[in-house]
Amino acid sequence: MSERETRNITTPGNHVVVLRAYLTGREVNDIKRALFGSVTVERGEDGKPSIPEYPLALAIDREKKLIESAVVSVDGKAENAPDAILDFPAADYKFVVTEAEKAVDGNF
C-alpha cells in the first residue's frame, strides 16, 4: 500500500499536527473494538435484545485508539506522537480528536 494522503492542522495552542486523511477498514474496526469489545448483547425474557450497560470509560479508550490511528506527527516529530496529543491542554486535545474524526466515514 502506498503512503497515505495526510493533512496538517494547527491547534488553538499553535501545535502543528499531521493527520491521516482517511483510516483503513482495519483501523476503523480496531477503534470499534476498543469501544464495543467488552460489550455483549443478551436477549431479554421477551426475546428482544436488551441494551447492555457498559462503562463510559470505553469512550476514552475509543478516542485513544482514534488518536493512535490518525496522528502521524506533532510539531514535526513522529516518535510518540499519540502520547504528545494526550499531554496537550484539553482544548488542543479536543480539537485534534474532532479533526481526527474526519478521517472516519461517519461517527460510531
Domains of the chain, residue spans: 6-101
The model's pTM: 0.78
Mean pLDDT of 84-93: 97
Report the b/e string of 44-55 with b at 16+ CB within 10 A. eeeeeeeeeeee
The amino acid occupying position 96 is V
Mean pLDDT of 13-29: 93
Residue 11 near residue 96 (C-beta atoms within 8 A): yes
> Residue 70: what pLDDT?
95
CB atoms within 10 A of CB 73: 16
Which of the four pLDDT bands, split at 50, 70 and 90, describes residue 107? very low
Q: CB under 8 Å to 51, separation ≥6 — which residues? A: 41
> Residue 108: what pLDDT?
45
